[in-house]
Each structure stands twice: as C-alpha cells, then as structure tokens.
Amino acid sequence: MIGRAAMVQATELALMTALAAGAPGRLIGGGSDSESGVLRSANAHTAQAGVRPVLLVHGFGGTKSSWSVIARALSARGLTVDTITYKPFGTSVEQLADRLIAAVTRILSQTGADKVHLVGHSLGGVVIAQAIASGRLAGQIDTVVTLGSPFRGSPWATLLPFGAVARALREGSPQLRRLASAPVPDGVRWLAFTATLDMIVPGLRSVPAHTQVETITVGGVGHFGMLLSWQVVGRVVAALHAHG
C-alpha cells in the first residue's frame, strides 16, 4: 500500500510539474483561449434528439487538453462535448461563473437541447457551484459532476498570497461559506468525486455540504490522476450517458 501510494504521489508530482512549466503563459489575465470563451471540441456536433450536451470546466491552471481522456470517452458514447477555458488570475470566481453561464446559453442554443450536463475538476467545480447558486441556470442543468473540487478549501490556496480566486479557495473563505449554504436546485443530480490520495484537496474537502449530493470515493488516485483514471472516467460516462 505504501509503495502504491508513493507511486501515485510521484505521478501527481510529475503532472503538477508539467502544469507549472507551462503556467506563466496561460495563468495571467482574465481572457480565454478564444473570443467566445468556449472552445469547440473537434467532435462536437448537433445534439441528437433527447441527448444532452456536456460542458467541461477545468481546474486552476488547466487547459482544454486536461479533459482529453474524459472527452474522448464521452464522445465515443455519442455525447456532444464542449470545454470552457479560462485564466485564473485577474478575475474572480463570480466572473468565471458569469462566463460559464454564457457558455451554457450558447451550447443550448447551438445544439437545441433543453438541458446541459456540467463537469468540473478542482476550481472548475467551484465555478459551477457559483453559477448554479446565482439562480441564472434554473431549469437548464441536468447533472453536475465535480472531481476533487475544494468546496471546503484547499491548503494549497494559502501558498498563493495574491489573487481573488486563490483567496476564495482558502478554507472558511466567505465565498465557500456562501456556496455551502446554497441548496442544490430541484431536478439537479450532483455527483462529487473525492480521491483517497488527493493531496491538493484532501479528505472530505471535495464533498459539498449539500445533503442531496452523491459522494463517490475513488481509491488509488490523486488530484490530477482522477482525470486519467478509467475508474473515474467509467463512472462519469455511465452517469451522464444514463441521463441522456
């Protein structure tokens, strides 16, 4: 068990190092990688009748490529997949939520679907929670899936002494307290994944306070490894495919 955990953490460190190596060029500024704020997936297509699209929201410092494994798996099951991308500095959780809301409006208009599924990793899950708490997505969301999202804060947020987003992710922040008191809207199914070897959002920090949330604990993977774990990918695909 110790050897397995050490291997997982070594992989996590390698993934974190790779993320940090490319960080300066993509972290600063509130803009996105495209004018619209939504990057069209290469396999995005008009939604099939009764099939709801999926919008993916990456974490702090992530990119569209963070979702490669999950996006391919979802597309293989006939789901339309899109990715919203952003830079976490020079902005706030509320502003990122505004852009997510706009992205939901666009994808529903473009596909003709009645509702969308939202999947967020790390900070992406907090952005989703903020967008839903605003009340502006009422009736437009089917299923929410969050992976290692710091709803109860991340100890790593204290290592970034500047930036509204980093401050919002600290344990006990006003932002997280407000989100904890916002109920899950009727008709929205919420799955929260937590990983036993997650050192970025450890323990139950990735579990929202809402009693309606279904918690799924995954063993043997860490914070970034969830995005590559077929155990996680399989559960996400099954959950979204079952709900059309």
Does 98 fall in a domain?
yes
> Residues in the chain, how many?
244
Opening angle at CA 128, ends 179 and 218, nearest 5: 90
Does 191 fall in a domain?
yes
Q: What is the rounded distance in angstroms from the CA atom of residue 43 to the CA atom of residue 211? A: 36
Residue 112's domain comprises: 32-41+51-242
- pLDDT classification of 31: cutoffs 50, 70, 90: very low
Report, as an integer, the average pLDDT of 158-186: 90
Does 223 fall in a domain?
yes
Does 10 fall in a domain?
no
Strands (E), 77-179: 81-84, 116-121, 141-147
Does 170 fall in a domain?
yes
Structure confidence at residue 189 (pLDDT): 95
Q: What angle do the packed helices 230-242 and 68-76 form, to 10 degrees?
A: 40
Higher pLDDT, residue 148 or 21? 148
Each residue of 134-167: pLDDT tens digit? 999 999 999 999 999 999 999 989 887 778 999 9
Q: What is the rounded distance in angstroms from the CA atom of residue 181 to the CA atom of residue 138? A: 17
Looking at the structure of the chain, the number of domains it has is 1
Here the tokens at position 47 are: 């939604």
Each residue of 88-134: pLDDT tens digit? 889 999 999 999 999 999 999 999 999 999 999 999 999 999 999 99
Each residue of 199-221: pLDDT tens digit? 999 989 999 988 789 999 999 99
Does 205 fall in a domain?
yes
Q: Which residues of 88-97 are buried (b: 16+ CB within 10 A; e: fewer)?
A: bbebbbebbb
- Distances from the Cα of 130 to the Cα of 100, 118, 157, 208, angstroms: 10, 12, 18, 12
Q: What is the CATH number of the domain that holds 165?
A: 3.40.50.1820
Does 218 fall in a domain?
yes
Does 148 fall in a domain?
yes
